[in-house]
Amino acid sequence: MEKSALQIARAAYQPKLPKALLGPVVAKEGKPTQSVGNQEEIKALFPNTYGMPVIEFVPGEQKQLEPFNVGIILSGGQAPGGHNVISGLFDGVKSLNPANKLYGFILGPGGLVDHNYMEITPEIMDEYRNTGGFDIIGSGRTKLEEVDQFEKGIQILRELGIKALVIIGGDDSNTNACVLAEYYAAKQYGVQVIGCPKTIDGDLKNEQIETSFGFDTACKTYSELIGNIQRDCNSARKYWHFIKLMGRSASHIALECALQCQPNICLISEEVEEKNMSLDDVVTYIAQAVADRAAEGNNFGTVLIPEGLIEFIPAIKKLIAQLNDILATPEAQNLGRSAQIDFVKNHISKENLEVFNSLPTSVARQLALDRDPHGNVQVSLIETEKLLSAMVAVKLEQWKKEGKYVGKFGTQHHFFGYEGRCAAPSNYDADYCYSLGFNASRLIANGKTGYMSVVRNTTAPAAEWIAGGVPITMMMNMEKRNGKMKPVIRKALVELDGAPFKFFASKRAEWAKQTAYVYPGPIQYWGPTEVCDQPTKTLQLEHQ
């Protein structure tokens, strides 16, 4: 594989580890835990892995372990730092016993079921250290839910002598890891399952997980792009740029990018829902900011929009919930696409039908027809940025006739998604991911299963980070998926009473009127520590 100058330079970077992981460790156990919701149901579903304590690794005595092998799976969408999780696990497993082997299952969980794997050797591993992407073994979205899948998995795990399986993924993937850990524990198969928190969306976090890996790099990458657009915007002075950002279930990316770039407008889905705003309320809010800037002679600006915004508008959220239930019925699934639209209209409530009919035809069809493997609306396919700008244009034309607006409204549209998912990891993500992987090897060595690898105190220097594990069952509750109640990890939304949002809210009126843009520039790898290694603004504000 030919390497770029950046890859060659980054290959020499040695990620930093928490001091606690530099020598032999022992697990210090906390109190028994319970799930964040639906305790009785979760306990009944996970009797063998429920109630385990949170653990923290502290220095211990050196123990000689018999050789063992480990498997690893990359699951779901890509996030910067995945290769460093694997390199941390690789180095951690080899440090326990050089004879240990690491096997990667190809193209996600499907590789486990289909027995498609490769051994990760030192030569292969060295090709991928500190690089972005998941291309070392690829990723996939196969869900591990069926007994047949679990049994096919155990066949290859036994054949390869694999003692533990590490699943790197988001909330759905780690829910699957928890289900698999429970099944293997109940059957006494002797295979441990460890999860690792990945998602650029930032919605896999809680008191124990400060941030999911990839969020730092993705936000810095998007912020660089937004900064570039804002510089162009402030140079040409003739366009309003509507920029949609990743974040279907939460607005963490939009909020972090707003904190870094200071755009004129940033919509936060959670606030839209909290204030019970209608689509027209959102449009009016943007249009007013456009009109106010036009009054000052500024016919340009930037608007950040989380991709899941439309799902958070209460009236549309109610519509989607009923659509999900109707479309999950066998009767609806056996119909053609056109017939489904008629079926939907005949089976939704009068209130929801009015909302459905008020939407542009293209958006209504996407809400009614397009679903992901989990049964959710594929909101990334809905061009919310174009929908909002078109509706703002109509409102401004109306105001112009009424003498309320004098200005020009030209628009440009952007959606930043794939641009950030495989970026070369920032120093923070390189260190954090390597630590998560290395830490997973210690969870395995300490006989843990059904745990997620966690590293905390990450606003401090890496040496002071705290490593350990949290039971995956602790994060779970019951939610409706594809028309059925299922155990899932609860998503972390933007907290409107949290420090990051409150700081943003205190500044947005000023940013809306003024041109207060910040241009973050490229991710910095070299230079002063205060530039290279700083964590996200979100984390800094949360830990003030």
CA separation, residue 57 to residues 65, 191, 432, 468 (Å)? 18, 21, 16, 5
In 224-355 the beta strands, taken as DSSP E runs, fall at: 240-245, 265-266, 301-306
Residue 77 contacts by C-beta under 8 Å, 6 or more apart in sequence? 139, 170, 199, 200, 421
Model pLDDT, residue 524? 47
The residues near 130 (Cβ < 8 Å, ≥ 6 apart) are 10, 11, 13, 15, 83, 84, 424, 425, 430
| Residue whose C-alpha is closest to residue 384's, from 312, 310, 300, 315 | 310
Domains of the chain: 35-214+425-481 (3.40.50.450), 215-310+367-418+497-542 (3.40.50.460)
* The predicted structure's pLDDT at residue 456: 97
Instruction: For residue 529, count CB atoms less than 10 angstroms from its CB and return exposed for 0-12, middle for 13-18, buried for 19 or more.
Output: exposed
The confidence score (pLDDT) of residue 525 equals 53
pTM of the entire predicted model: 0.91
Both tokens assigned to 96: 């326990």
Pairing outcome for strands 192-197 and 162-169: parallel
C-alpha torsion sign, points 55, 58, 61, 67:
positive
DSSP classification of residue 222 = H
Strands 162-169 and 69-74, how do they pair? Answer: parallel
Sequence length of the chain is: 544
Cβ neighbours of residue 92 closer than 8 Å, sequence gap 6 or more: 21, 437, 438, 439, 440, 441, 442
Contact assessment for residue 191 and residue 144, using Cβ atoms and an 8 Å cutoff = no
Query: What are 27's strand-pairing partners?
Result: 57
- Burial call 81-94: b when 16+ CB within 10 Å, e when fewer: bbbbbbbbbbbbbb
Output the six-digit token pair for 496: 């409107």
Pick from 138, 210, 208: which is nearest to 168 by CA?
138
Active site residues: 201
Name the amino acid, one letter, at 332: A
2 exposed, middle or buried (CB, 10 Å; 0-12, 13-18, 19+)? exposed
Helix axes 82-96, 427-445, angle to 10 degrees: 40
Q: Taking a C-beta distance cutoff of 8 angstroms, is the pair 470, 209 a contact?
A: yes
Of 183, 178, 116, the C-alpha closest to 150 is 183
List CB contacts of 438: < 8 A, sequence separation 6 or more. Answer: 17, 21, 88, 89, 91, 92
- Helices 252-261 and 215-236: angle between axes, nearest 10 degrees: 50
Taking alpha carbons only, the member of 414, 441, 442, 426 closest to residue 539 is 426
Report the greatest alpha carbon distance in the chain. 81
Structure tokens at 56: 């923290």
Q: Shortest CA distance to 242 belongs to which of 278, 187, 283, 201?
A: 283
The structure tokens listed for 142 are 């196969």
The pair of three-digit structure tokens given for residue 264, joined into one six-digit string: 């004129």
* pLDDT given for residue 7 in this prediction: 79
Dist CA 89 CA 104 (whole Å): 11
- H or E segment to which residue 455 belongs: strand 451-456
Strand partners of residue 486:
479
Residue 63 pLDDT: 84
pLDDT tens digits along 439-495:
999 999 999 999 999 999 999 999 999 999 999 999 999 998 877 899 999 999 999
Take residue 300 and report the two structure tokens written for it. 């340009």
Sign of CA dihedral 444, 449, 455, 457: negative
Q: Residue 482 and residue 326: Cα distance in Å, rounded?
A: 10
Low-confidence ranges of the chain (pLDDT < 70): 1, 370-377, 379-380, 523-533
Amino acid (1-letter code) at residue 239: Y
